[in-house]
Amino acid sequence: MSIVTITGNVKYSITLDPSVWIFDDRKFDLDQFFSDFREVKDEDDDLVIDRERQIREGTVSPPTLKSEKKYEKEKLLDGTFGIKLEPFLKNAEVTGSAVKCLFKTEGEEVSVPIEEAGGMILCFSNNGKPLGEDGPVHVYFPDGSNRMTPVKRVKEIHIV
C-alpha cells in the first residue's frame, strides 16, 4: 500500500499519498539538502564562471527557457526527493496535549518529541523512482544523523 496516515492526537486524521508529491513545490533534493553547503557552493561557483566564459567565447549556447525546462524534467526523472512533515502536521491540526510523534513501521516504532516532528523529512523518491518494497516513505532526521539508515516502511504517523 502506498499511503501514509497521520492519526492520534490530531483534530483531523489525514491520509497522505506520497506518489503525488513529485508535483509539490515544497519538495527538495535530498542529496543537495544533506551535502556540505560550502563544498557545493564552491563547485557551483566554479561551474558558473566556466559556463559564462564558454558562452562569451561562443563555444556553447546560452541557456534558454526550453533548455531549462528540459533540465528540470530530467532532474525529476533521476532525483532523490523529500518533503518536510511540518505542513502535514499543520493540516492535521495537532492538539496542544500532544507530546510525541511515532513513526510506525512493520513491527517497529520510532519516537520523536512533537517539537522536533515538523522538521522530520519524508523521502518519497529515490533516483527518480517511487520507493518500492521498503516505502512508501523513508524518514530522516533533519541533521542527517540517520542518512545511511533511515526509518523505512513507514505506514503510519501516530501523534501521542
Cα separation, 154 vs 106, whole angstroms: 8
Pick from 51, 75, 71: nearest CA to 61: 51
- For residue 2, the model assigns a pLDDT of 85
* Domain 4-32+77-159 listed as CATH 3.90.420.10: yes
- For residue 37, the model assigns a pLDDT of 35
List the single range of 51-55, 85-89, 98-102, 123-127 with lowest mean pLDDT. 51-55
- The three state secondary structure string of 3-63 is CEEEEECECCCEEECHHHHHHCCCCEEHHHHHCCHHHHHHHHHHHHHHHHHHHHHCCCCCC
CB 138 within 8 Å of CB 157:
no
- For residue 57, the model assigns a pLDDT of 73
Q: Which three cell numbers stand for residue 105?
A: 513501521
Rounded to 5°, the CA angle 94-95-101 comes to 55
- For residue 111, the model assigns a pLDDT of 96
Q: What is the pTM of this model?
A: 0.76
Question: What's the rounded mean pLDDT across residues 87-113?
Answer: 94
- For residue 64, the model assigns a pLDDT of 61
Could you state, in order of their start, the residue ranges of all structural domains in the chain? 4-32+77-159, 41-75
User: Which H or E run contains 119?
Assistant: none
User: Which H or E run contains 68?
Assistant: helix 65-78
Q: How confident is the model at residue 71 (pLDDT cuts 50, 70, 90)?
A: low
Burial 122-131 (b: 16+ CB within 10 A, else e): bbbbbeeeeb
Question: What's the rounded mean pLDDT across residues 39-68?
Answer: 60
